[in-house]
Amino acid sequence: MVEKIHLKNNEIIFLKGSSGTVGVAKFGKTGHIFIGTPDKEEIVMFLEPDDIIAVSSLKSEPQSEDGIRSLIFLLREMGAPLVVLPSDHPTSQRLSMVASCGEKVRLDCQITPGTHPEQDILCACDDLSGVEIKGVNGGLEVTGPLKEFKVEKFYSRKFSRGYHHD
């Protein structure tokens, strides 16, 4: 089943799982994100306004949504790069959040967090595994077992003129 969800450039959607949360926002502009790979290469990922940034919190904690908002802000507004770790890197077990960007992202609980340079897959909790999120004009198309979600304003100077974050 495909569910179309309306999402503006100044909004973020949180997909809730029992053991984690995924936040998704539109990239909202034409631009790029740099990706550092384990091969000591740097990939430039060119993005369009309807492309998405998805951030997965691998823990279910009250501050998870704040962390997701922060990482999306760093990637979208500050130009922070994504870093991909080697598959056997011990730090991958300590990551509390991982991110992916592009036209679509598939959530998967069977991958090692932070180790996939392909930007169409993202580690997520068990009950969000199998969900696919695609950025489309005016929102998102979400395919898979989606149970609970909420959409809220996302603070950004560029997209939220006049909106004041509490």
* Residue 124, token pair as written in the block: 């997520």
Residues near 89 by beta carbon (within 8 Å), at least 6 away in sequence: 38, 114, 115
Question: What confidence category does residue 76 fall into, taking pLDDT thresholds of 50, 70 and 90?
Answer: very high
pLDDT tens-digit map of 108-149: 988 888 888 788 999 998 889 999 999 999 999 999 877 778
Q: How far is CA 131 from the centre of its chain?
A: 13
- 3-state SS string over the chain? CEEEEECCCCEEEEEECCCCEEEEEECCCCEEEEEECCCCCEEEEEECCCCEEEEEECCCCCCHHHHHHHHHHHHHCCCCCEECCCCCCHHHHHCCEEEEEECEEEEECCCCCCCCCCCCEEECCHHHCCCEEEEECCEEEEECCCCEEEEEECCCCCCCCCCCCC
Distance CA 104, CA 53 (A): 9
Across 81-105, average pLDDT: 90
Q: Hey, where are the domains in the chain? A: 2-153
pLDDT tens-digit map of 12-32: 999 988 889 999 999 999 999
pTM: 0.89
